[in-house]
């Protein structure tokens, strides 16, 4: 038996809609037109859209554009949208009209139907119209970019940056704890001069903090909202005070630094702020790939790899090799980073396709940008909790590697010259002895001088660690 349906009407005629659906004819048309991916706008975007509709109703009521009772019903329904109570009724595919009009109308219809139900329950006349009332003073062309900026700003500030700060603190804690652990440095994948494991992790912590700073620099651009521009940036059919009032309400509701766009034609014709934010997200992804890749290599083994780190065992690593444990958390981070880099390519292309007064690539930009935020926030949190915090250093193994390294000859060069130091390193390699053992015979240095030169700790610079302060 087919599910019960009802008939809805829009400017193009009638459409059959599931009887239980809160949306109407325009949403049903979009569902029929775009059976593309099965992907919907993410929760963060729907939340932002609900908040915009809520504060638009408040502003329109205060400005005399909406009767108070209708505005109150719209506001309550829009808050339910923001809270996720009506997510099942947002059914339009991400790959749709380039302005996102279908999803804006999906929101308008859902909010109108729910508002009318609230009015009927209060024994008031149900007469909320999706365009005339819920969309009053707005256009998809200014609402959808505003929702995207709001969702991206909130996701970066509330989820991603806190996760990155926690990771930076965890890395910095390892830097302090391992300041006395000497290991061999590596350049070109070859042995280099000694380094402290604490210095390595201090570098990672600083890399992550640079990423936080880069993300924070994008927030002023994301804080500019296109509301008030309506169709092409001129503000046709909206009150001059509408955008200011809506944005002030959004700022109070979210605690974010939001403001009306300085130029509405730029705000609707381009998506440069999203391209900028995506670039910062890509840089964070690249940093996390480097850190995760280093950690999995440093933990390779357990017997025939580098083995300088011991990674937490989180799950069996093989369906055929008993006892094998793999660096799965590192691999997860690297895969997330690769996906974010791919998203950035799509966002960059989308940003370049702003034609005249509208960028008609907003849905795919929104999908990729917000997914990048969510992926990085989740991956960073899990990586910190399930890998970084539980890392252990094999200090004895690290020390043995330092003593065996031919790069120890570097410290002899100032005393005996580069060529003689090179010959000592070569002889050590040929005989399987350490640089120290060969130098005792061929360097012509007093034991005390040789001991001082080959002190690996002295080769690593100052003893205090510079990156031990927790992130604010």
Contact in structure between 150 and 48 (CB atoms under 8 Å): yes
Q: Taking the CB of residue 388, how many other CB atoms lie within 10 A of it?
A: 25
Q: Mark 311-349 as b/e (b = at least 16 C-beta within 10 Å).
A: bbeeeeeeeeeeeebbbbbbebbbebbebbbebbebbbe
Q: Are strands 13-18 and 182-187 parallel, antiparallel or unpaired?
A: unpaired
- Which residues lie below 8 Å from residue 437, measured CB to CB, with a gap of 6+? 428
CA-based nearest residue to 464, from 62, 125, 180, 111? 180
CA-based nearest residue to 116, from 160, 161, 154, 74? 74
Catalytic (active site) residue 188: yes
> Phi, psi (5° rounding) for residue 186?
-140, 130
Among residues 99, 113, 140, 318, the one annotated as catalytic is 318
Among residues 188, 319, 464, 472, the one annotated as catalytic is 188
Determine whether 88 is exposed, middle or buried from the number of CB atoms within 10 Å of its CB (0-12, 13-18, 19+): exposed
CA–CA dist 57, 67 (Å, integer): 10
Q: What angle do CA 468, 282, 92 make, to 5 degrees?
A: 125
Q: Are strands 309-310 and 392-393 parallel, antiparallel or unpaired?
A: antiparallel
CA–CA dist 65, 349 (Å, integer): 39
Catalytic (active site) residue 367: no
Q: What residue spans of 122-160 are helical by DSSP H? A: 140-155
CA-based nearest residue to 146, from 270, 52, 240? 52
Structure tokens at 382: 């899990």
Active site (catalytic) residues: 188, 318
């Amino acid at each position: 038996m087919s599910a019960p349906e009802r008939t809805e009407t829009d400017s193009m005629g009638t459409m059959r809609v599931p009887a239980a659906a809160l949306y109407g004819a325009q949403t049903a048309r979009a569902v029929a037109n775009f059976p593309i991916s099965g992907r919907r706008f993410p929760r963060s975007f729907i939340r932002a859209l609900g908040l915009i509709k809520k504060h638009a109703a408040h502003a329109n009521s205060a400005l005399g554009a909406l009767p108070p009772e209708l505005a109150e019903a719209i506001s309550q329904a829009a808050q339910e949208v923001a809270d996720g109570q009506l997510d099942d009724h947002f059914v339009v595919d991400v790959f749709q009209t380039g302005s996102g009009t279908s999803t804006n109308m999906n929101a308008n219809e859902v909010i109108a139907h729910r508002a009318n139900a609230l009015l009927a329950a209060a024994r008031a006349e149900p007469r909320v119209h999706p365009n005339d009332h819920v969309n009053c003073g707005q256009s998809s062309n200014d609402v959808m970019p505003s929702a995207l900026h709001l969702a991206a700003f909130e996701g970066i500030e509330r989820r991603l940056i806190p996760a990155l700060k926690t990771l930076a603190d965890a890395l910095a804690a390892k830097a302090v704890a391992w300041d006395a652990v000497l290991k061999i440095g590596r350049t070109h994948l070859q042995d280099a001069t000694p380094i402290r494991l604490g210095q390595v992790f201090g570098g990672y912590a600083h890399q992550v903090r640079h990423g936080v700073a880069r993300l924070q620099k994008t927030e002023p651009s994301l804080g500019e909202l296109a509301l008030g521009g309506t169709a092409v940036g001129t503000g046709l059919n909206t009150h001059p005070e509408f955008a200011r009032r809506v944005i002030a309400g959004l700022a109070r509701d979210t605690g974010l630094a939001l403001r009306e766009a300085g130029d509405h034609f730029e705000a609707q014709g381009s998506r440069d702020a999203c391209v900028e934010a995506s670039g910062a997200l890509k840089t964070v992804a690249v940093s996390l790939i480097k850190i995760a890749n280093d950690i999995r290599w440093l933990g390779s083994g357990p017997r025939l790899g580098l083995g300088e780190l011991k990674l937490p065992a989180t799950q069996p690593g093989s369906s055929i090799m008993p006892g094998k444990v793999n660096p799965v958390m590192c691999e997860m981070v690297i895969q997330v980073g690769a996906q974010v880099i791919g998203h950035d390519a799509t966002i960059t292309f989308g940003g370049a396709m702003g034609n005249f007064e509208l960028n008609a690539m907003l849905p795919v930009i929104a999908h990729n940008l917000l997914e990048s935020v969510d992926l990085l926030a989740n991956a960073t949190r899990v990586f910190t909790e399930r890998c970084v915090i539980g890392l252990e250093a094999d200090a004895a193994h690290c020390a043995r590697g330092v003593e065996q390294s031919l790069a120890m000859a570097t410290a002899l060069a100032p005393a005996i010259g580069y060529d003689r130091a090179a010959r000592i390193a070569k002889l050590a390699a040929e005989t399987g002895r350490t640089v120290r053992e060969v130098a005792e015979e061929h360097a012509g240095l007093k034991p005390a001088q040789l001991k001082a030169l080959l002190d690996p700790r002295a080769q690593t610079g100052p003893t205090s660690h510079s990156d031990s302060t927790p992130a604010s």
